[in-house]
Structures are given as C-alpha cells and as structure tokens.
Amino acid sequence: MRQGHRGAAVIMLTLVVAACSPATTAGKATTPAAALPTGGPPMGLPPASGAVAAAVAMPQCRSADLAVSLTSPEGAAGSVYRALVFTNNGHRSCQLQGFPGVSYVGSGDDDQVGPAAQRVGDLGDVVLIAPGGMASAQLQLVNVANYDSGVCRPTPVRGLRVYPPGETTALVVLATGTGCAGTPPGPQLSVRTITALMH
C-alpha cells in the first residue's frame, strides 16, 4: 500500500474509534443522579399526620359521662322550642357529632310514645367538649292538640328519652306533657345537630 493510502486509512480508523467511545463531557452523561432523601417531612417541620392523629385520639362522649337538661321553652305558632344541653361530667375531653336520638316516654313507664324526633339540617361539625363544658341541640315540640285526636291519640308523657350520637344507652330528661301515641301527619318532635355552647 502506498504511503498516501496508509495515511488515509489511519485517519479513518481514528475517526471510527472516536465515534464508538462513550461521551465523557464533564462526566454528566454517565454519572447517575444522587438519590433524593425520602420517608419524612423536611427537617424542622412536624409530621403531617400529627393533627389528624390528635383528632382521632379524642374519645367519643359516652352516655355515662354526660348529663342532659332542657332550657326554658320559647313559644312559636303551634310549637315550643327548647334546647337539649349536654354537659360533660367526665374527667377528660370528648367529642360529639351529629343528631341525638329523641323520643317521648310514657308517664307510667319507659315505653316510647309515638314516633321519634325527625332530624332537620346537616350533620354538622365535630364538637369538642372539655370537662364541665357543654353542647346543645335545638328541639322543636309540636302542640299535638293541633292534630286530629283520632289519629294522634294524645297520651301523657313524663319526659324525653335521649341517645347521644353513637350511643345505645339512653338518658331521660323529665318534662311532663302530651305526645301522640299514634302517627300524626307531621313530626311531633324535630331535632337539629349538636353545636358548641358557651357558658
């Protein structure tokens, strides 16, 4: 092979070798990215689940820790409005949310008289009650004399049976009056959700 041809072959071989070599510019193309830290919040910040865990840890108010009373009646056309007041007599804070179960009880026994209270409005927020604190639910008591006596079947009552939300043990609030042992065309009792009460 003549020298000119050998020189051209060497140049071509050099170019082929260069094309097959990996890029090494500043090491960026072949250096893997450093792994990012995982598994926790940025330093100096509390875990995001802390507030949620605290809310979950707050126990539900039990019937045994609560006392229930009624505020004085306020009259309206054909009805009386009173508030059911729940007082936390326990030694720790607790929470209530939603509607209490409410019905009339007979004057001579604890049998329910007529339909239970109809729920009115939204479920409402969680209400936290400290020891000695109170919450309330508005109650509407219809004058059952407005209903046909044959349908209502007016019956003396000695008070109200009250189930705090989520509870199966009832509390009784004494309040004599008259309820419908039958099923009237409208609710004889209506109750709203529990809300906080300042005292």
Please state, in angstroms and as integers, the Cα–Cα distance from residue 132 to each residue in 88, 169, 199, following that order: 5, 21, 10
Measure the CA angle with vertex 35, ends 34 and 37; round to 5°. Answer: 130
pLDDT of residue 135: 97
Which segments in the chain show pLDDT lower than 70?
Answer: 1-56, 198-199
Q: Provide the pLDDT for residue 76.
A: 77
Per domain, the residue ranges of the chain are 58-197
Distance CA 155, CA 176 (A): 11
Report pLDDT for 108: 77
Tell me: the pLDDT tens digits for 58-111? 899 999 999 999 999 998 789 999 999 999 999 999 999 999 999 999 987 789
Residue 110 has what pLDDT?
80
Strand order in the sheet with 171-180: 112-113, 101-106, 154-163, 171-180
Q: Return d(Cα 172, Cα 24) in angstroms, integer.
A: 84
- The reported pTM is 0.71
Which CATH number is correct for 58-197, 2.20.25, 2.60.40, 1.20.1050, 1.20.120? 2.60.40
